[in-house]
Chain A
């Protein structure tokens, strides 16, 4: 009954490869997010997305792209992986009813990506 689930939990790959991380939420939320936690443990927003709007953090390279087949899923595609992409990636969701102060984020358990 995991609310926000992401797969795989671990992903080891070579530089230059293309990979995807899947995320699904069963909370009926309208907005989903991808966060990146680097080696220094800083957690930073990459994307927020609902069926109306994709907001991209301008520091995210265009090799990263979110794909949403439906509102319960937001997958992260990464092209031409680089060493610096190694990090833990967290998917999250929220109810998403506009700019509401009670918008709690529900996070998945993370995908540890290692680029060799």
Chain B
């Protein structure tokens, strides 16, 4: 079972920041927060991951609260191509050993 809770859907205007929340209140000290997304008819795509500190890469930023019980994925300037289901996953080992458990995710719809 997924150890995260995400809203089922969100809308965002094109060009605006998309802020996707995730609750992971039972996260343990050695577990990381991972984000993947799945664009329609494609396989999931890795976005970003983090442990305690905020992280940023070319795709997104990840903000993790100090108590690590929740996090927010930020797409700074959403485009129509960012419309997808976004999965927040907590895992000790990332992709290895098949330890990623995908929940239902958040369906993000970016609108013109």
Contact = CB atoms under 8 A, between A and B. Distances in A.
Interface string A80-116: 0000000000101010111111111111111000000
Contacts of A105: 36, 44, 46, 94-95, 100
A3 B100 CA distance: 20
A84 B93 CA distance: 30
A100 B102 contact: no
A102 to B, nearest CB: 6
Interface in A41-64: 41-45, 47-48, 55, 57
A90 B103 CA distance: 16
B45 A107 contact: yes
Majority secondary structure of chain B interface residues (helix, strand, loop or mixed): loop
A29 B6 CA distance: 31
A106 B43 CA distance: 8
A75 interface: no
B44 A107 contact: yes
A9 to B, nearest CB: 9
B2 to A, nearest CB: 9
Contacts of B96: 31, 48, 94, 96-100, 103
Ranked nearest first, the 6 interchain pairs of A and B with the lowest CB-CB distance are A107-B43, A105-B95, A103-B95, A103-B96, A43-B102, A45-B98
16 contacts: A42-B102, A43-B102, A44-B101, A45-B100, A48-B98, A57-B98, A94-B95, A99-B92, A99-B93, A102-B94, A103-B94, A105-B44, A105-B46, A105-B94, A106-B46, A110-B41
